Structure 1
Amino acid sequence: MGHEQMEHEHMNHGKMDHEHMDHEHMDHGHMNHNHGDHGQMHHGMSHGDHDMQHMDHDMGGMDHSMHMGNFKQKFWLSLVLAIPIIILSPMMGVSLPFQFTFPGSDYVVLILATILFIYGGQPFLSGAKMELQMKNPAMMTLIAMGITVSYIYSLYAFIANHFLHTEHVMDFFWELATLIVIMLLGHWIEMNAVSNASSALKKLAELLPDTVTRVNKAGKEEKISLQEVHEGDTLIVRAGDKMPTDGQILKGETTVDESAVTGESRGVIRKTGDQVIGGSVNGDGTIQIEVTGTGENGYLAKVMKMVKDAQAEKSHLEALSDKVAKWLFYVALVAGVLAFVAWLVAADLPTALDRMVTVFVIACPHALGLAIPLVVARSTSLAAQNGLLLKNRNAIENTHDLDAILLDKTGTLTEGTFAVTGVEILAADWQEDQALQYIGALEKNANHPIATGIMKYIEEKEIEVLKGEDLKNIAGVGLSGVVNNTQVLIANDKELAKRKQTVDKKTLAPYLTQGNTISYLFVDDKLIALIALGDKVKPEAKTFIQALKDRGVEPVMLTGDNQEAATAVANYLGIDNFHAGLLPDGKEKIVSEMTNAGKKVAMVGDGINDAPALARATVGIAIGAGTDVAIDSADVVLTNSNPEDILHFLDLSKQTRNKMIQNLWWGAGYNIVAIPLAAGILAPIGIILSPAVGAILMSLSTVIVAINAMTLKIKK
């Protein structure tokens, strides 16, 4: 593709991008607290921050940690309250060797247990309230049932034993204390394991400058803050500055680096009348723009809105432990009520109450609280050793049976930079350095992505270019000029064919298979050399794609690049399914279509334009070298930017899932045995689960669960 043609194609792509965007009226509540100004968003972040935190939790990333405050602190303080309770009150009615009592110790236990129930139990009680409001009882409801029943029944036991002079009623203060402490420990371990995602909204705000230069009615320049900018204002953007808003160029011409925003590796030429995107970086020209979008109707706000909507929808994915907890909750409820009715008929009210409460308390096993967090903590640290940063605890669970993995081309499968990929000398008496001196003479003053790429390459090689005169841009062909008194031309492949000249297919093959743009150097009408530019495919990409296929996961390539470049890379890597020329919402749409069809898909990307798709996918994987916004929208970050680490992630996910299932069987298996025995199903033959045996079984299952979690490994 020649310079001209490429430039033209590129421009169209860019224009289309914006037209498309401008037609979308997306409202974005959080971003505009002041007529939708970006500036306000920048400085008045506290409100948005709060919302974002809320959103973070709603999306299932932090799952139950809604309003939990600081787990570490809660755990240690609760432990301090629990130790005296454990020492001063019997374990399910059985005194342990280290326990003792003294006159009035019952009162101490009651006071400490009340504080512990209110303070340590708060996260579980408020979590249960939310689950019940959503008509979806799970882990929090199960824990809340266990601690509430043990507290209320123990309170009744205390009153009965001290004031009603009935025969001794057993209390459950010991279970209350250990249950709260172990569950807090489980949640703390888990919260600790999952790296805290900072707010993507903040990161988007940081892409925009604080102050801008406006041209006022009198034609004078003035510095104002971003939130004072309104649509229709004229702003000056100098070389190297960030575009403060979306706008249309009124004056000037420049190259714009939109890689942070659209993921496009090649700098884009923007002339008078073209659109620019807020957050992109201005190159070497100074331009004047008319503001077309601020705040909620700006491009970044639309991307943010898509991310937010996707994250909110994704929060419906349910964690495995929650499914088990929900099932246990219903089983315990039914078993407890049946036991109550049966014992009420067979014996009396106190016995019936005692049996029902024992069932409810036993139903909430300590092992279940640790079963998943310990596995999550272990797999998170293994992931970190393998270049993976986990940000959403459900990511590992959701990855174990993926149908497809969607890969952004630029920056994921390729290096993401538009640069020289090779120079081939085609004339016997020429050297590479000499050819580059001639090429540089013509390209030196051209304001063009190809020229920029070539000049960067020449500078790196420290080659002094020659002086070019009479430089001309020939439409549809390339550049011509006079160097050392000889006629020099840099042309495209069309011109090469027109001159009826050919280049050996073997020489061209490596460049064409990767979709490179090739330019030819003619000196005095003689073909001297070719120079290829493109986005280099990462060396490990080919084996990675094959490994995915071997695991039964379909690779799908998505790119904003043109069809030709995409086809070349897809064929080279062996990808059958790919989509080219995509806008940001195009990627998100493909992900939506696949997830709506019931497929489990992972999305891998690095640009702001990938953020909505990353948030929408079953699992979003961001490349560590990408933009902060992509990283914040993802569930997993590849810290080494190496796609092969994704394979480790797939393997780790499988192992983790297996361990979770084993642990849930150990944790819940205890219940499967204990609940019916506690309800008194074998009472007719004289077997009732003595609370002491229940407690020993419970401790045993907790220890097994902990040991099992630690044996998790990644098979290399």
Structure 2
Amino acid sequence: MLFVVELGTIVSLLLTIAPGLFDATGSRVYYGVITALLAFTVLFANYAEAYAELEGEAQADSLRALQTETKAKQLIEPDTPIEEIDDGDIEIADSNEIEAGEVVFVDEGDVIPRDGTVIEGSASVDESAITGESDPVIRQSGGDRTSVVGGTEVLSDCLKVEVTSEQGESFLDEMIGLVENAQRQKTPNEVAMTILLSGLTLVFVVAVATMFFFGEYLASFTVGFAGLDIAELVALLIALMPTTIGALLAAIRVAGMTRVTRRNVIAKSGRAVEAAGDLDALILDKTGTITTGERVAQDFHSLGDANDEDVIRASYQSSLFDETTEGRSIIDLAEKMNGTKADGGQPDGDAVDEPGAAVEAPRDVDVSLGTESLSEENFVPFSAETRMSGINLPDGTEIRKGAVDAVEKYADSAPGKLRQPSNDISESGGTPLAVAVDKQVVGIIELQDELKPGIADRIAEIQKMGVETIMATGDNQRTARWVADQVGIDEFHAEFGPEEKIELVEDIQADGKLVGMTGDGTNDAPALAKADVGLAMNAGTNAAKEAGNMVDLDSNPSKIIEVVGIGKQLLMTRGALTTFSVANDVAKYFVLLPAILAAAIPGLAAMDILNLSTPASAVTATLVYNAFIIPLLIPLALRGVDYEAQSGAQLLRKNLIVYGGGGLIAPFIFIKMIDMLFVALGVFQ
């Protein structure tokens, strides 16, 4: 389309230089004005894309600034245990000299020289330079938190890292390349739009070319009509083609990707962002996406002959030195329900905001927590073998808390009604922990995996857009059903492993639907690669990041909901501006056609709604509007239309009324104003 505009500019320029070449009857000044306006149309169309790409280049520059040369502590003997490493085991080398497969030692305060995998050790790492998040993250060997990124700093402890990337092939290098190059990739919807616009261009070229010969025919028997001016036909062609949306397509696409980048998500292709806007189904994990992933104490339940005070005291004492999230929440809840701190003071005013303060109206229980003589030496830490933790009191009393079946096996006796309240807690989506004193089960601690704030509203928002929400979790059926009911999930699947996840993706795609999902582990990689939109977590494994077509630098699984919204906004913006552009063309048709043909066909004067001063003024005013409406719409293309979760029918109706109506009215208003300005200045009189 813009190529046709360029050709029209060349033709108009030739008319300006040599009017006699085409037997043109207009003045050079008139043709010069038309040439300038067509040139501005081409210029503004290219400016729209260039302006949008500036943001992507700025993002790439900011990432490139992180690539500082660092020294690496290369291990001479990679098998040396981390606790035995000293200066004699280390060889200092430039990071660009380290090859993939070599092992480096990274101590507190060191910068990780290159992307790699933690093979030994555990440390707190500052990744704020890449993710923008100030909170450090834990990286350790084993599991799904082994991946480290070059350029990040170790804040505590030390690591042995096996380098996994060659020089120039790090994750940071890849992100820079993606940001720089992704905006140049066309998406399927954009290809379809290009075909549509190309088809319209061809139709208008044929129609306008035919009008030239029609004009010659009219001139043969119409007195005072010498035929249609080529420059005016070129102007008619350019005005009728939807040049506005053609010029803004690239800006809309780049702006959509830029909005994703601003949310710390790197899209590997433009198709990923646009596919997010076209999703039919969204697969969500439970832990970390729908729930916070942290189980907190919700209530205490006494069993048998024990009372509430006995259960609270035993739970508190067994958790006093338990530094896990569950242990701290038990302490907070017990103190809140008792009204006192362990030191005898009153609880902090902020206690109600802590995770353990989940009970809105705790029971007022007067309990002597009995912690004066306890020390950490009495604490029995949790072990995977026993699945329990606890404490041994100085008087010989043993207190244990843990999984219900583990505590039952440990205890000499348990109330006959133990299983029923345990099942009730599980049915409500919670986790029961049994508490035993001297091998006698006295009660249950109810833990709940908290729902993320506002997650139900966000899921409802996605559903309003016509996207089916599906939860796939490894948890049991009871917990999965409770969570699904709480947040309004359309469909849920429990006890799902990697094989079941990829089968679920394939089944949805077999129905002709687009599907998105999130993941961070190696076991998620197959499904991430298969999904149309795979959002991998930066904190996850390299396999997951390579499999997904988006990487979330903040490692927030629920961010895929935002990505879907951005994709929808991109499509809504394109639809709105396309409607506006086509409506513009209809209005310009009623402006130009009467002005050009009224001399030959007087009946067309009835279509001259604006009653412009002269045909030359009508052509020029229309071209002025056609050129300058492009830069005026660039801010809307970059910002996007206001996003609302609505059905396709609602969006179509809104586009037709707001942007279609605006597209019809705006040309009449502005072209008439420009014509009035010409009259005031004495132009074309």
Q: TM-score higher than 0.5 here?
A: yes
1:177 Cα deviation (Å)? Answer: 2.8
DSSP 3-state at the match of 1:196: helix
CA contact under 8 A between 1:624 and 1:637: conserved in structure 2? yes
1:230 corresponding residue in structure 2: 99
In structure 2, the gaps of 5 or more residues are 81-87, 131-135, 221-225, 336-340, 344-370, 609-614, 646-685
Is the Cα–Cα contact under 8 Å of residues 409 and 559 in structure 1 kept in the other structure?
A: yes
Q: Please point out which of 425, 436, 454 is paired with 1:522.
A: 436
Q: Secondary structure at the match of 2:190?
A: coil
The unaligned stretches of length 5 or more in structure 1 are 1-141, 445-450
For residues 460 and 380 of structure 2, the distance between their equivalents in structure 1, rounded to whole angstroms, comes to: 48
* Residue identity (%): 20
Where do 1:286-685 residues align within 5 Å? 286=158, 288=160, 291=162, 293-295=164-166, 315-318=187-190, 322=194, 325-340=197-212, 353-354=230-231, 357-364=234-241, 402-415=279-292, 417-424=293-300, 426=302, 427-428=306-307, 430=309, 434-435=313-314, 437-441=316-320, 443=322, 451=324, 454-455=327-328, 466-467=374-375, 468-469=377-378, 471=380, 473=383, 475-479=385-389, 481-484=391-394, 485-498=396-409, 499-501=413-415, 502-503=417-418, 509=424, 513-514=428-429, 517-528=431-442, 530-531=444-445, 535-546=449-460, 548-549=462-463, 552-557=466-471, 569-570=483-484, 572-578=486-492, 598-601=512-515, 633=550, 656=573, 659-670=576-587, 683=600
Q: Name the stretch that deviates more: 599-608 or 402-411.
A: 599-608
Q: What is the match of residue 213 of structure 1?
A: 73
SS at match of 2:35: helix
Distance apart, 1:493 and its partner CA = 1.8
Q: 1:544 to 1:430 in 2, by over 3 A?
A: same
| Cα distance, 1:609–1:491 mapped onto 2, change above 3 Å | closer
Structure 1 distance, partners of 2:297, 2:279, is 35
Deviations 1:456-489 (A, max 9, x none): 8759987577324384747244235523331122
Hey, what's the Cα distance between the residues in 2 that align with 1:151 and 1:589? Answer: 57
CA 1:362–1:509: 2 relative to 1, 3 Å? same
- Contact map agreement 1:513 1:572 (CA 8 A) in 2: no
Task: Find the aligned partners of 1:353 and 1:438 in 2 and give their Cα distance.
Answer: 94
* Deviation (angstroms), 1:537: 1.5
CA distance in 1, matches of 2:101, 2:265: 43
Could you list the per-position Cα deviations for residues 625-661 of structure 1 after superposition, in whole angstroms to 9, with x for gaps in the alignment? 999x999948999999889978987996797566435
CA contact (8 A) 1:519 1:531 kept: yes
Pairwise CA RMSD: 6.7
Summarize the Cα distance change of 1:443–1:213 in structure 2 as closer, same or farther, 3 Å threshold.
farther
- Partners of 1:380 and 1:293 lie apart in 2 by 28
Query: Following TM superposition, by how much is the alpha carbon of 1:526 offset from its aligned partner in structure 2, in angstroms?
Result: 3.4
Tell me: CA distance 1:440–1:306, structure 2 relative to 1, closer, same or farther (3 Å).
farther
Query: What is the Cα deviation at residue 667 of structure 1?
Result: 1.9
Aligned-pair CA distance for 1:213? 3.0
Distance 1:302 1:389 in 2: 15
Please report how far the alpha carbon of residue 228 of structure 1 lies from its aligned counterpart in structure 2 after TM superposition: 3.1
**Residue 666 of structure 1: CA displacement?**
1.5
Residues 151-195 of structure 1 show CA distances to partners (whole Å, capped at 9, x for unaligned) of 43333332346x999855565332333344456557767876899
Deviation, 1:330, is 0.9
Q: For 2:105 and 2:505, locate their aligned partners in 1 and report how far apart those are by CA, in whole Å.
A: 38
Structure 1 residue corresponding to 2:12, chosen from 134, 153, 159: 153
Q: Say if 2:618 is the partner of 1:693.
A: yes
> How far apart are the structure 1 equivalents of 2:397 and 2:497?
45
CA contact 1:266–1:418 (8 Å) conserved in 2:
no
Quick one: which amino acid aligns to residue 335 of structure 1?
Answer: A
Question: 1: distance between equivalents of 2:403 and 2:520?
Answer: 32
The 8 Å contact of residues 279 and 515 in structure 2, kept in 1 or not, is answered as yes
The letter of the residue matching 2:148 is G
3-state DSSP class of the match of 1:172?
A: helix
Report if the CA contact (8 A) 1:403-1:554 is conserved: yes
1:339 Cα deviation (Å)? 3.5
1:252-283 Cα deviation digits (max 9, x unpaired): 6648999999xxx9979747x99943349989
* 1:149 shift after superposition: 1.9
Is this contact kept in 2: 1:405–1:556, CA < 8 A?
yes
Query: Tell me, what secondary structure is at the counterpart of 1:489?
Result: strand
Q: Is the CA contact (8 Å cut-off) linking 1:404 and 1:601 kept in structure 2? A: yes
Residues 13-48 of structure 1: per-residue CA shift (max 9 Å, x gap): xxxxxxxxxxxxxxxxxxxxxxxxxxxxxxxxxxxx
Looking at structure 2, the residues matched to 333 and 612 of structure 1 have their Cα atoms a distance apart, in angstroms, of: 49
Q: Is the 8 A contact 2:188 2:271 kept in 1?
A: no
Once the two structures are TM-superposed, the CA of residue 663 in structure 1 deviates from its matched residue by 0.9
Distance 1:332 1:576 in 2: 47
Q: Aligned residue for 1:80? A: none
5 Å matches for 1:80-159?
A: 142-159=1-18
Contact 2:235 2:619 in 1 (8 A): no
- Checking the alignment, whether the CA contact within 8 Å between 1:242 and 1:281 is kept in structure 2 is yes
Q: 1:328 is paired with a residue of what secondary structure?
A: helix
Cα distance between partner residues in 1 of 2:121 and 2:563: 41
Distance verdict in 2 for CA 1:520–1:254, change over 3 Å = farther
CA distance in 2, matches of 1:209, 1:433: 56
Instruction: Pick closer, same or farther for the CA change 1:425–1:184 going to 2, 3 Å.
Output: farther
Compared CA separation, residues 556 and 319, structure 1 to 2 (3 A): farther
Task: Kindly state the Cα deviation for residue 554 of structure 1 after the two structures are TM-superposed.
Answer: 0.7
Note if contact 1:213-1:222 (Cα within 8 Å) is conserved in structure 2: yes
User: How far did 1:318 drift?
Assistant: 0.9
Letter in 1 for 2:581: L
Aligned 8 A contact 1:389 1:638 in 2: no
Instruction: Check whether the contact 1:363–1:675 (CA below 8 A) recurs between aligned residues.
Output: no
The residue type equivalent to 2:9 in the other structure is: S
Q: Is the 8 A contact 1:238 1:285 kept in 2?
A: yes
Residue equivalent to 2:350: none
How far apart are residue 454 of structure 1 and its match?
2.8
Kept in 2: contact 1:254–1:283 (CA 8 A): no
Contact kept in structure 1, 2:280 and 2:515, CA below 8 Å: yes
Letter in structure 1 aligned against 2:468 = E
Report the residue type matching 2:327 in the other structure: I
Asked if structure 1 preserves the Cα contact closer than 8 Å seen for 2:38 and 2:623, the reply is no
Q: Letter of the aligned partner of 1:536 in structure 2?
A: E
Cα-to-partner distance string for 1:483-524 (whole Å, 9 max, x where unaligned): 33311222212124545444485687566544x554333222
Q: What letter matches 2:438 in structure 1?
A: D
Alpha carbons 2:139, 2:147 under 8 Å: kept: no
Aligned mates of 1:183, 1:429 — CA distance in 2: 79
Residue 678 of structure 1: how far off its partner (Å): 8.6
Alignment CA distance shift 1:527-1:615 (3 Å): same
Moved more, 476-485 or 689-698: 689-698
User: What residue number does 1:113 align with?
Assistant: none
Matches within 5 A, 1:181-196: 181=40, 196=55
Taking the aligned partners of 1:534 and 1:297, their CA distance within structure 2 comes to 46
What secondary structure does 1:439 align onto? helix
